[in-house]
Each structure stands twice: as structure tokens, then as C-alpha cells.
Amino acid sequence: MRNALIERQTKETLVTLSLCLDGGSADVKTGSGFFDHMLTLFSSHASIGLTVRCKGDVEVDFHHSVEDVGIVLGQALKASLGDKKGVNRYGSIILPMDETLILCALDLSGRSYLAYDVPLNATRLTDDGDDLNPKVGAFDCELCEEFFLALTRSADITLHIKKLDGRNTHHILEGVFKAFGRALKEAVKVTGNDLPSTKGVL
């Protein structure tokens, strides 16, 4: 079984995360109901086992918790992949979610890169009429990019996520996490015995 158990403790968060690439269910408690929902969707669509416990300074906001979960999930993904021999390496999908359409493509390249092009419609205005970052419930939606940035850096993967269409913020972000799960499922699939690189290293 390809799995990993990672714990990360800072003055801001305590994150414990277990990951199994070869199946399982999700059990996620981060302090944010919306973020729990997104990670559970990701686990289901990736067909991976994922357990997350995060105690963070949510009285400030969810930033530190979301970022640190991204760091730890990336570390667990990297550890569970080992030498990457036999994996498919690449995964991609164009995923519909009602009116929303999300493109996601990734490469288990050993090189960290994130291209995140997911514009959201502002849902609130300041007293001066300026746009504020949209929220779903109490969750700041801009944190999704921070999550994927932290994940790609610690997992050393190349990840492209692009919104092709969409209006509803919840649908857009749900599509993003589902698409990432589906693309990852394809990339980590074992399809042979060789390392999928002419360089001889990933």
C-alpha cells in the first residue's frame, strides 16, 4: 500500500494527516465546514483514503489552517509516491459542475509549479462600493489558491487549474477540488514498472 502519515506543528496550527493512494474513505476535520467538504470531495474523486485533523488559530481566520493542510497533504503525497516507478505520471480532466466547467492537468514532475486561473465573482461590496473577496459561509475563497500553492510546493508537482466557465462560487470551487481529485487519480495509477521519464528521475 502506498501511504503516509505526516504531522506538522507550528505556533499557529497542529496538523495530522494520513493518506493512502490505493483506496479508503475520508475523515476530515479542519475547523472549517466548507474546507472539510472540499477535501472530502477530493478524496472521493481521487479514490484515496484521507484522514485530516487540524487545530488552528481559526479565531484569526482560516488562512494558516488551509495553508498548513496544503503543506502536509503535499508532503504525504510525495512520501506515498516513493520513487514513482510505474505510475502514469500525468492526469487531466475537463470537469462539468452544473454551469461550471473546470480544466485540471497535472504532472508528477518533481518540479513545483502552479498555474491557478479561477476568477470568482465578487459577492460583497464595501461601504465605498469596492469589491471584496468572495466567501462561501465564513470561508475566504482566495484561500483555495493558497492551498494549492502550498500543496504543489511540498509535493513537487506541476498543476494547472483553469475555470473555463462558471458563475456560482460554490460550484466553481467544488468543480476545482473534484477535478483535482480526478486528475490525481489518473496520474498516480500504476500502469507498469518503469519510471515514466527519459531522464531516469522524477
- Domains parsed from the chain with CATH numbers: 3-188 (3.30.230.40)
How many whole angstroms separate alpha carbon 23 and alpha carbon 46?
9
Write out pLDDT tens, residues 4-42: 999 999 999 999 999 999 999 999 999 999 999 999 999
Q: What's the confidence (pLDDT) of residue 128? A: 61
Question: For 15-19, 23-27, 49-53, 136-140, which range has the lowest pLDDT when averaged over its residues?
Answer: 136-140
Chain position carrying cell 474513505: 25
Single pTM value for the model: 0.94
- Which residues make beta-bridge pairs with 19? 4, 50
* One-letter amino acid for residue 202 of the chain: L
CA–CA separation, 146 and 140 (whole Å): 11
